[in-house]
Amino acid sequence: MNRWKKILSLTLAGAMMLSLAACGGKKDAEEPGSSGGEGKSEETEKVTLNILFNDTDENVEAEMDYVMEHLPERLPNVEAKLEMVPGDAQTYETKVRTMISAGGEGLDVWWERGGSWAAPILESGSALPLDEYLEASGYKDKVIPSAIFTAEDGHIYSVPFNDNSYEIILYNKKIFADHNLEVPKTVSELKEIIKVLADTDIVPISVGAKDGWCAAMMLEGFAYSLDPMITEKIVKGEGKFSDEPYKTGAEIMKELLDMGAFSKNVALTGIDEALPLFETGKAAMMANGSWAVAAGAEKMGEDFGYFYYPVVNDADLDKYGKNVAGGINKYSGMMAYAGTEHPAEAAALCEAVAELRCQYVYEEKGNPYIVYKPEVMGWKYDSEFAEPVARLAEDMQNFEYVYGLVQDVMPTAAASAGIMQATSKFMTNTPDYTIEDYLADMDKAALEE
């Protein structure tokens, strides 16, 4: 949308609970929101804050439309300027780091992807500690415990709003029914489905391999059934991608490529092309995440469904759906620049954006996988949750082991980028880039500083 090509500006009005009281030593004894002096209330001066956000698709645009529309009800005397940055993760994160390196001009608050992307920001001291402000607002009473990420120095640096997300496979129930197919719970059953659909004009599995992370999640999904802790072991330096779980996962991916499981030129297909392919019924399945369930159920109705990654070994059928990669990405959410001239207002803005985004997806989109507690916030969903949405919310209670998505938990941003680049290359399925080459590149990427 053209409106996101430029900076959006909204004047935010209302009553502010936090002031600049936390900024100076002479005001250390004041409560957030006090005016200092001899107890006389003074009108808070209007300040300008810049918000940076990654424009990835129409869903994000709709969310931020809602956030910017309702911010005037939540914050006082602040002029917020929102800049939506188009492009992939690397493009967006590079812009954030460039702005920080240039002294933070034009940057007060931004959405941070978290995980390894956030590591250099925290190490450089570029993020504002938020715990003092969050404590004053009662933040910990509003969110689920897993949403509170405390860094090694004891501070909280992000206000997450991302959904509890898990890697799953979406599927079209009508296509499955038309071809007498059942949900596969083992890899052998999945291959049988591929054989049937490969003889039709329907793409068996849609995947945004160009972006890397979609296909990397598939690899991880298969590896999880052999050892759900393998990604965590790699992150801790106790395992490698060339170990058996990921090696077997790569072999399965290669088999699927050779069977014609994916669209032509899949390595050149991004998520923005792969998703419509599935939603319009041109693909039977899609490698995606639980974040797509609410929108998928809304767009496709009763035709929409999902399943977990099939187990590699038939003997492990009892493990199906028990170990799932995902959760909440550590340090993801709204961050404030340590050098902002208005730290209290920036902290309040971080929290307001996070709350409003979660309120929108819960009340307007029927998505219950939020980090805030709806009953505490007083949020209501006026309808019943779609069946797939309600089922996943229930499934989440039975997961035995959960660890972050492979592309998000690597030790460094360079490692994450290397993982995604190697996976995109592997999906070209060329004879001169073997499974061994791929895993060697993955091992090398994991060690990138």
State how beta strands 304-307 and 165-172 pair.
antiparallel
pLDDT of residue 89: 83
pLDDT for 400? 87
Taking CA atoms, 290 is separated from 85, 164, 355, in Å, by 24, 8, 20
Q: What is the DSSP letter of 324?
A: E
3-state secondary structure of 283: strand
The CA distance from 163 to 19, in Å, is 30
So what's the pLDDT on residue 14? 35
Q: What's the first-to-final CA gap in the chain, in angstroms?
A: 37
Per-residue pLDDT of the chain (449 residues; tens, 9 = 90+): 333 333 333 333 333 333 333 333 333 333 443 333 333 344 557 899 999 999 988 889 999 999 999 998 899 888 899 999 998 888 899 999 999 999 999 999 999 988 878 888 999 999 999 999 999 999 999 998 878 889 989 999 999 998 888 999 999 999 999 999 999 999 999 999 999 999 999 999 999 999 999 999 999 999 999 999 999 999 989 999 999 999 999 999 999 999 999 999 999 999 999 999 999 999 999 999 998 998 999 999 999 999 999 999 999 999 999 999 988 888 999 999 999 999 999 999 999 999 999 999 999 988 898 889 999 999 999 998 899 999 998 888 788 888 889 988 888 888 999 999 999 999 999 999 999 999 999 999 999 87
Can you give the pLDDT at residue 43? 55
pLDDT score, position 12: 31
At 172 the pLDDT is 98
Q: What is the pLDDT of residue 40?
A: 38
Phi and psi for 185 in degrees, rounded to 5? -110, -5
SS3 assignment, position 112: strand
For 239, the token pair is 């395992």
Predicted model pTM: 0.70
What pLDDT sits at residue 363? 94
Contacting residues for 57 by C-beta, under 8 A, at least 6 apart: 271, 272, 275
CB-based contacts of 449, cutoff 8 Å, min separation 6: 412, 414
Instruction: Give the model's pLDDT for residue 399.
Output: 87
Give, in degrees to the nearest 5, the angle at Cα 70 between 69 and 71.
100
